Amino acid sequence: MGDRGTSAQFGVAAPKVLLIAPAPIREIGPLAGIFTGGERKSRQLASRYRKMAREAGAGFIDAGTLIQVSEVDGVHIEPDQQRLLGEAIAAEVTRLID
């Protein structure tokens, strides 16, 4: 794409993009050993994703400000957190396409 507003190949509006930084993981539960060091690293993702989104002119959501991972395994998210994230994504997508 030449400019960010149109697709040079097809001459149509480029799709809008929403980049979502995941909620940081926690090193707890049965998966803790698999993700050793991952908690610290995952806390760095949001700022990096935010910067990439800004540079690309994309929308951005930091899921870590909205939800938390499960206390059971520190990686997955529970249904109530899925709902919160889904609602936030829906609101941002609506904003992007309006």
Say which CATH number the domain at 44 has.
3.40.50.1110
Average pLDDT rounded to a whole number, residues 4-23: 79
20-62 tens-digit pLDDT: 999 999 999 999 999 999 999 999 999 999 999 999 999 999 9
**Inside any domain, residue 60:** yes
pLDDT at 5: 56
**Inside any domain, residue 1:** no
Going by C-alpha positions, the residue among 23, 28, 22, 24 that lies closest to residue 72 is: 28
Residue 48: give the domain boundaries. Answer: 6-97
The first and second tokens of residue 38, run together, are 């991952």
pLDDT at 18: 97
Q: Which residues of 47-62 are buried (b: 16+ CB within 10 A; e: fewer)?
A: eebeeebeeeeebbbb
Domain count, the chain: 1
